[in-house]
């Protein structure tokens, strides 16, 4: 029977949400640092839906190491995957190109048919004999440095932010972010995590990522956009070392997210993709602000 990767991944995430657990909420820390993105053997972070897949696997199985590796990579590094260990399936997009001939004109037209492919990876904690560069804990970053980095990151975006109101929001018509006073949050992490959520909304503006969900999802657009912002904040918090804690008002979104995911097995993939693009855009602004060349 053909494997339905969209359905399998969505079912696992729905199962977590039904228990009240967000699989993108990383509760663990490494030394003084908050856990970051899952990493490939090259040190490159995973993106989009694979970030969620590997965070979920780490959450369920208790892995603390961020690095994931294929069986062949482990062998090439002089190590091995321990007997009996179960791998985790990650995915990537591919496509087939089909050429059709118009029966009336005889002209050829190509149609691109996207689909998912998969492969299996193992956390380095499932392996033996790997070099230290793959298994050594990441260096701890003191909290003051992480907070300073988050402040600099947000400032570099150039977003208009007004603090002092009673709630956090992004107003598209005014293209501005409203935030409560910092004293309204339990700690600095809560302030930055909330602001990073609103910054993800900010990227959806037509002058930036111009995020659209299509007409057939118009009635779910709000819930889908909130899911994008939720994931974008999770990715950014991981990148910046900010602890992501659930916001009280987000408990109300769980039911709407479940409705979206149950109705559309591709919704979480789309949300993760949009969130990844938003985060990439915000990182691009950092390079622009520092005068570096933007690829």
What per-residue confidence (pLDDT) applies to 217?
A: 74
What per-residue confidence (pLDDT) applies to 250?
A: 63
Other C-beta atoms closer than 10 Å to the C-beta of 256 total 15
What per-residue confidence (pLDDT) applies to 294?
A: 47
What per-residue confidence (pLDDT) applies to 258?
A: 93
pLDDT tens column, 162-198: 998 889 999 999 999 999 999 999 899 999 999 999 9
Question: 127-133: which pairs have CB atoms within 8 A and are 24 or more residues apart?
Answer: 127/69, 127/74, 127/79, 127/80, 127/81, 127/82, 127/85, 128/79, 128/80, 128/82, 129/78, 129/79, 129/80, 130/69, 130/74, 130/77, 130/78, 130/79, 131/77, 131/78, 131/79
Q: Which regions in the chain score pLDDT beneath 70? A: 1-2, 26-35, 94-96, 101, 106, 113-115, 247-251, 291-295
Residue 152 tokens read as 């600099």
Distance CA 122, CA 70 (A): 6
Residue 59 tokens read as 């959450």
């Amino acid at each position: 029977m053909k494997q339905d990767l969209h359905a399998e991944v969505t079912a696992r995430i729905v199962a977590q949400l039904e228990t009240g657990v967000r699989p993108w909420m990383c509760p663990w820390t490494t030394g003084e640092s908050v856990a970051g993105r899952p990493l490939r053997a090259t040190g490159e972070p995973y993106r989009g839906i694979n970030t969620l897949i590997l965070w979920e696997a780490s959450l369920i199985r208790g892995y603390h190491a961020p690095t994931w590796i294929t069986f062949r990579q482990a062998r090439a590094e002089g190590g091995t995957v321990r007997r009996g260990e179960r791998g985790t399936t990650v995915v990537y997009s591919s496509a087939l190109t089909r050429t059709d001939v118009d029966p009336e004109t005889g002209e050829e037209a190509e149609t691109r048919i996207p689909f998912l492919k998969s492969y299996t990876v193992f956390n380095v904690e499932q392996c033996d004999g790997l070099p230290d560069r793959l298994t050594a804990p990441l260096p701890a970053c003191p909290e003051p440095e992480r907070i300073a980095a988050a402040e600099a990151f947000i400032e570099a975006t150039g977003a208009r932010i007004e603090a002092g109101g009673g709630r956090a929001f992004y107003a598209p018509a005014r293209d501005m972010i409203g935030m409560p006073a910092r004293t309204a949050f339990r700690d600095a992490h809560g302030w930055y995590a909330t602001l990073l959520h609103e910054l993800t909304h900010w990227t959806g503006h037509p002058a930036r990522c111009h995020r659209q969900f299509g007409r057939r999802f118009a009635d779910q657009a709000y819930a889908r956009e909130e899911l994008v912002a939720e994931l974008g904040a999770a990715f950014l918090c991981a990148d910046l070392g900010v602890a992501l804690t659930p916001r009280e008002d987000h408990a109300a979104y769980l039911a709407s997210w479940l409705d979206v995911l149950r109705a559309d097995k591709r919704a979480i993939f789309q949300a993760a993709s949009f969130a990844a693009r938003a985060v990439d855009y915000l990182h691009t602004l950092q390079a622009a602000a520092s005068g570096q060349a933007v690829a």
